[in-house]
A = this chain, B = another copy of it.
Amino acid sequence: MQRFINNPDEVVEDTVKGFVKAHADLVRLASNPRVIAARHAPVDGKVGVITGGGSGHEPAFIGYTGRNMLDAVAVGELFSSPTAKSFLDAAREANGGKGVVCLYGNYAGDNMNVKMAIKLAAKEDITIATVVANDDVCSAGPDEREKRRGVAGEIFMWKCAGALAAEGASLEAVQAVAQRAIDNCRSIGVGLGPCTLPAVGHPNFLIEPGTMEVGIGHHGEPGVRVEPLKPAAEIARDMAKIVLDDHDLAAGTEVAVLVSGLGATPANELYILNDTIEQEITGRGLTIHKTYIGNYFTSLEMVGATLTVMALDAELKRLLDVDVDCPARL
């Protein structure tokens, strides 16, 4: 493993320490060392906005803590759900007396621990409303959307909800806009190379050189097919087609586009993908309002990329355009 790590069992510990040091102007470590809170949180009378998830996806989830974004984040071990206690503590850090929305991805461990945190929080009169992200098209069919995983579309969900909460909206309104934001997102991932959990020491799945996995999840969950590696333009066309066929948007719809590297794919290759992605999207009569390119939601040192397309309405567009101040690029 050609990696910058210390004790493989302390990767999350060391990551969080270095993160808080780098961004102490924006974030702080809570008394629970697996919870990152925004410096400003909690804000009295504001709905708290939290999430949580496994580590190894940096800058997700912790990098989206900040002004007009997330108030607190529960931090799990690598590719593992945070504990119920960490979700609870994130809610406590974010609670300004108006309730908390927990906007997280659809994974078994997260579902279980968030449910438990809701019960524990209720005993302290903290209401936690939830939205479960399920934007990953290839993880289940269109008639089973509730089974789909949450991936990079979560960032758009957090951004819209974070902005609305900062305006003083009610818990119901923030939950509703987050639900609409993620309902309007479709994502797909393509993997060209696996990643290795440092404590395991070998890849947790395989991608043979010369092949690629279409529809892969953020932890190597298999997608719809393995096929020979193709030129970027063909890959990008396939990614756009899978996302847009599932989305079925009317011509003239405005969209936001996010192309994220999975950790070991450099920016220039994401731009190469975007050249074709833009063609495919505009070729369907859609209008691109804004494009985000970079490492937004990664999987350790996996080689690959994801595409997320969010359909915008007037409110989502306005909220997406609100300036944020958080460690990750937005």
Q: Is A134 an interface residue (CB 8 A)?
A: no
Closest chain B residue to A55 by CB distance? B268
Contact B271 A2 (CB under 8 A): no
**Partner of A6 from B19, B232, B278 at Cβ < 8 Å:** B232
User: Which B residues lie within 8 Å of A305 (CB)?
Assistant: 4
Q: Which of B6, B22, B266 contacts A293 (CB 8 A)?
A: B22
Residues facing B in A7-56 (CB within 8 A) are: 7, 11, 14-19, 21-23, 25, 55-56
In the bound complex, CA of A199 to CA of B273 (Å): 18
Please give, as numbers and ranges, the residues of chain B lying within 8 Å of A301 by CB-CB distance.
264-266, 303
From known contacts A275-B17, A301-B265, infer whether A270 and B4 are also in contact, taking CB-CB under 8 Å.
Answer: yes
Report whether B4 and A235 are in contact in the complex, using a CB–CB cutoff of 8 Å: yes
On chain B, the residues within 8 Å of A207 by CB distance are 2
- Bound together, the chains give a CA A3 to CA B4 distance in angstroms of 23
Can you name 12 A-B pairs with beta carbons within 8 Å?
A5-B269, A6-B272, A11-B268, A11-B272, A17-B275, A18-B293, A58-B267, A63-B267, A264-B265, A264-B303, A266-B300, A329-B329
Beyond A22-B274, A56-B266, 20 extra complex contacts between A and B, CB < 8 Å: A3-B269, A4-B269, A5-B232, A6-B233, A11-B268, A14-B232, A14-B275, A15-B268, A19-B274, A19-B293, A21-B275, A22-B291, A22-B292, A58-B271, A263-B267, A266-B300, A267-B295, A267-B298, A293-B327, A294-B329
Cα–Cα distance between A127 and B235 once the two chains are bound (Å): 46
Query: Interface readout for A311-328 with B: 1 if CB under 8 Å, 0 if not?
Result: 000000000000000011
Q: By the criterion CB–CB under 8 Å, are B18 and A278 in contact?
A: yes
| Best-surrounded residue of A16, A18, A59, A305 (most CB of chain B within 10 A) | A18
Distance of A229 Cα from B1 Cα, bound (Å) = 9
A residues in contact (CB < 8 Å) with B: 2-7, 11, 14-19, 21-23, 25, 55-56, 58-59, 63, 192-193, 207, 209, 212, 229, 231-233, 235-236, 259, 263-276, 278, 290-295, 298, 300-301, 303, 305, 327-329
Identical copies in the complex: 2
Contact: A266 with B298, CB < 8 Å? yes
What is the minimal beta-carbon distance from A135 to any residue of chain B, in angstroms?
20
The complex places the Cα of A48 from the Cα of B112 at a distance, in Å, of 57
Task: Please indicate the chain B residues that have their CB under 8 angstroms from the CB of A58 in the complex.
Answer: 266-268, 271
**In the bound complex, what is the Cα–Cα distance between A7 and B272 (angstroms)?**
11
**A290 partner residues in chain B, CB cutoff 8 A:** 25
Q: Which residues of B contact A232 (CB under 8 A)?
A: 3-6, 14
Across-interface contacts of A298 in B (CB, < 8 A): 266-267
User: Are A265 and B4 neighbours in the complex by a CB distance under 8 Å?
Assistant: yes
CB <8 Å contact, B267 and A192: no
Kindly list chain B residues whose C-beta atoms are within 8 Å of the C-beta of A16. Answer: 271
Query: Distance in Å from the Cβ of A76 to the closest Cβ of chain B?
Result: 13
Contact, CB under 8 Å: B192 / A2: yes
* B278:A21 contact, CB within 8 angstroms: yes
Contacting pair A267 B59 (CB below 8 A): yes
Bound complex: CA A21 to CA B327 (Å):
25
